[in-house]
Structure 1
Amino acid sequence: MITPLLRPVTYARWLHLMIGLVFAGIVLLVYPGTEGVSTARAVVLSAAVDVPLLCAVALVPAVRRAEGMQARLLLAPAREESIGVAPSASWADRGRTAGWLVARVGSGAAVGGATVVAVELAARLPLLVPVVGFALLWLVVLAGRLQLALAISLLGPSKAERLAAAEARAERLLERNRLARELHDSIGHALTVTVLQAGAAREVPDPAFRERALEAIEVTGRRALDDLERMLVLLREAPEAAAAEQPGLDRVEELFASARAAGTPVVAELAVRTGGLPGVLSREAYRIVQEGVTNALRHAPGAPIRVEGAVVDGVLELSCRTARTGGGSSRSGGGKGLRGVRERAVLLGGECEAGPDGPDWLLRVRLPLRLDRWT
């Protein structure tokens, strides 16, 4: 019973209510005045002026923003996100703003009138000060809670705005997942190639081979730094500038060259005209091939890799095959890389298969071209 009366927010809400009384009082002084008019008649006439005036004020888009900011500061310090601060964007917003203004002024006038009566009563009967004060403060607590509920309902985001916010959150989550896949594929491939090159250079005494390994490590590291910088640009919310730098299927030979430099034979048969592929499909296909090669290098180092690609009946078919040596058989559970490949395929309306195929490990992806959708 006492705790709500001691909270600072109770008195902040009281101030918010009294602002409504000030508006109603100013209108009352202008019309119908306070002399020669009964209290009941003054209230009725004042309301008849207040309501149309408040509805007219609510037509101004900035009023909704101002009311939302006041409500956030005085009514709900801990629930700011529940009350909007955007200007009115539709007639529905203006209507809700008008309802809020009328409710705010009406409740403020009622609480303000009760405050004046309580002060007068306490002045005439000092013994009743504790009882009157307690009752008045609880009236303020209840009125403040009611006004907060009205503010959330009338000034809060509409259903369309909440749906848009949910969609924006979903988009941000998808973008974060996409960036995670990009980093995994790019940096993971670079680190795999670097480790293999460094290990081979340590084992092979040939100076010329070591020179080639160090050169491959340098080139791979630079590409990884480029990809990392591109990811940072995306995180800085400049995706247009970075999107053009994403590697496509036309750069897949560089990927094979790095694998060959690590001592892994790569046989590639890509009967695909990369210039005829939609940009997004070319970029995602590159990442899929990259993940397949990286998995082969990681789980079966030195084993030959065979990559095939072709467009058949409007579908881009990609496959990456390697021998199941070493830890190759352990890949059936699928790690983050294969999960990322499946996600890419699904997002493009395709399908992905990964698993043992006789003595080999096979990754096969089918992606519909859908030029009308991806261009």
Structure 2
Amino acid sequence: MWRAMASNMLTILVVGLFLAGGLILWGQARYKNAGPLETAMCLQVERGSNMTQVSRQLEDQGAISSATIFRMAADYTDKAPQLKAGSFLVREGASMEQIIDEITRSGASTCGSEIEYRIGVTRIQTRVRELNPATLDFDEIASFDVTEEEVPAAYTQKREDSDTRYRVSIAEGVTSWQVVEGLKQIDALTGDIPEIPAEGALAPDSYDIVRGADRAAILQSMQDKQQLRINAAWEGRQDDLPIKSPEEMLILASIIEKETGVPHERGQVASVFVNRLERGMKLQTDPTVIYGVTKGQGALGRGLRRSELRRATPWNTYVIDGLPPTPIANPGLASLEAAVSPEATDFVFFVADGTGGHAFAETLDEHNRNVAKWREIEAERQSTGN
């Protein structure tokens, strides 16, 4: 009898272990396999929330099939204490494993609202955007110039939301003075700026920030990134260029940046200036003259006068030989690379062609014909009011 009882107990134990193992495998599959969510959504995790509350919220919204498995998995992987507050994108069909990773990884919101401050050459624009989970595109809620327009209610409201993300974007070709003045206008930042960084020392790019970030610290991040770009570009330079230092490269890159906004033209524009330097020709580029007038403190807002083209300043390349003494703006990475890897051409002239780009020429006669075409285009635009 005892043998029979022991045999039965053993059988029950084996069956129990088998069932437990199967239950674990079933739970693991539910945890790792695609979830039931049919359309991406934003998950709002409030401050002070716990995994129990979040799991119920996800189950109610149809993002997971079992709040219990979700909680057990978060506890088992020791991720429950790592829950972050914020607004998180839960993609269509996301598994429980992916959702837990999303809400515990960094705390950076991946959904909800974003405020972007864009410091451009002519304006400082603030954009308020909100991610549409269905399209994964940002819908613009408000856009305004902080120096000229009234602050819309949408901006004030989103600034109060705890999950709003912030970004500062610096356009290619802005001056250091413009960047500093732009940062001063951003009310989400704090701190003073002791001095304006050297021209060309800031990397045009987009920078994630937090509300209350220090202005000087953001400037330092821009300088650190630009120095890395300068080092990399100089390391990869072509041989036998007429620029002999990273500083000269930076100066040339800033001129290229101000002369064209057409990406595929940068190499050609660079070749014009390299060819002129090699032949001992003056660079004769208007943006350097403008910098001599404004010192980088805002846009000129009008055409150059003949007297300004003749006036001797350290930056007037119609008067001086070679490069000006400093950069005239903060160039982007592409212009830095063009300065040290210009296209192989014989171009020494270029002029606007009416399409937003330029017509390049090897000879003065060809250039004069291109100039005549451009003047015809200008005259036609003035007559039609375009």
TM-score above 0.5: no
Larger relative helix fraction = 1
Give the TM-score category using the shorter length. under 0.3
